[in-house]
Amino acid sequence: MKAVEQVTSQGSRPIRILVAKPGLDGHDRGAKVVAAALRDAGMEVIYTGLHQTPEMIVTAAIQEDVDVVGLSILSGAHMTLFPGVKKRLVEKGREDIVLLGGGIIPPDDAEDLEGQGIARLFGPGTTTRDIIEYITSTVSVD
């Protein structure tokens, strides 16, 4: 499998990613599928579970020393939750953590969020291979 080769040969350690479900959204099947695919591709994955606040997500990301935070948002609160996590990462001096995510996000909102420093947003129909390839081409580990 090509994606596994990319992840395992990229650096001396696996890419570490925190997958989180912020806010009141209770639908986590997609987040679990993505988390499993990332793990199968050789990444270390921490899944925080449902109903996380931006503060909880950033605290966990720093404690776990992750390279990437991936948010899954289907609740419509993406214009509050993504910037909330990004702001807290910056406040903690962790702009180096790549923030990306997915969900039902209108194109205009996605463009605005990417302009605010959200690395990439994946919509419905995105393959796990596309997500893996984006992460492995964006994140370099020592």
Q: Is residue 140 situated within a structural domain?
A: no
What CATH number does residue 80 fall under?
A: 3.40.50.280
pTM above 0.95, yes or no: no
Q: Is residue 23 situated within a structural domain?
A: yes
Q: How many residues does the chain have?
A: 142
Q: Is residue 141 situated within a structural domain?
A: no
Give the tens place of pLDDT for each residue, 65-99: 999 999 999 999 999 999 999 999 999 999 999 99
Average pLDDT over residues 2-7: 46
Q: Is residue 45 situated within a structural domain?
A: yes
**φ/ψ of residue 5, rounded to 5:** -60, -40
- Tell me the C-alpha distance between 11 and 16, whole Å: 12
Q: Is residue 80 situated within a structural domain?
A: yes
Give the tens place of pLDDT for each residue, 118-141: 999 999 999 999 999 999 999 989
Q: Is residue 142 situated within a structural domain?
A: no
Q: Is residue 7 situated within a structural domain?
A: yes
Domain that holds residue 10: 2-135
**Domain count for the chain:** 1
**φ/ψ of residue 123, rounded to 5:** -100, -175
